[in-house]
Amino acid sequence: MPQAMVVDDSKAMRMILSRSLAEIGYEICHAGDGAEALSLLREDMSLVLVDWNMPHMSGLEFVQRMRADPKYAKVVVMMVTTETEVEQMVKALEAGANEYVMKPFTRDIIADKLRLLGLLH
């Protein structure tokens, strides 16, 4: 079963995203911020969904630090955030995010993005 991590400081958002991923076959772990996510990150993970705005370490900083380590090069990262400015999207993609989803979203939007990334058929 593919592994995914949901990183968000909102417990409700972690549950919503986890439910969507579990329904399509992912085994899920959770983190409440980027620092916790770095401590849980494994190179065999297929996917990380990460919020931008979190305490201790933002999602952007998490992506930058994760991408600085070559052993995580194959882990797909999707930012799922309330940040709607084009500049923020560009920053996330330049930092190494593979995809960007703006909140609010639907389960279908997440599934469509996973299809684009080749993680769902």
Return the amino acid letter for 2. Answer: P
- What one-character DSSP code corresponds to residue 70? G
Average pLDDT over residues 45-59: 96
What pLDDT is recorded for position 23?
Answer: 92
- Average confidence score pLDDT of the chain: 95
Is the Cβ–Cβ distance between 93 and 113 less than 8 Å? Answer: no
Residues 6+ apart with CB under 8 A from 52: 58, 59, 60, 79, 81, 82, 83, 88, 92
Confidence tier at 121 by pLDDT (50, 70, 90): confident
Architecture of domain 3-116: 3-Layer(aba) Sandwich (3.40)
* Per-residue pLDDT, 2: 95
pTM for the whole structure:
0.95
- Say what the pLDDT of residue 99 is: 96
Cis? peptide before 55, omega within 30° of 0 = no
Q: Sign of dihedral through CA atoms 81, 89, 58, 64?
A: positive
Decide if pLDDT at 113 tops 90.
Answer: yes
Digit-coded pLDDT (tens) for 55-105: 999 999 999 999 999 999 999 999 999 999 999 999 999 999 999 999 999
Rounded to an integer, what distance in angstroms lies between the CA atom of residue 102 and that of residue 94? Answer: 17
Query: Where along the chain do its domains lie?
Result: 3-116
Q: Whole-angstrom Cα distance, residue 25 to residue 48?
A: 14
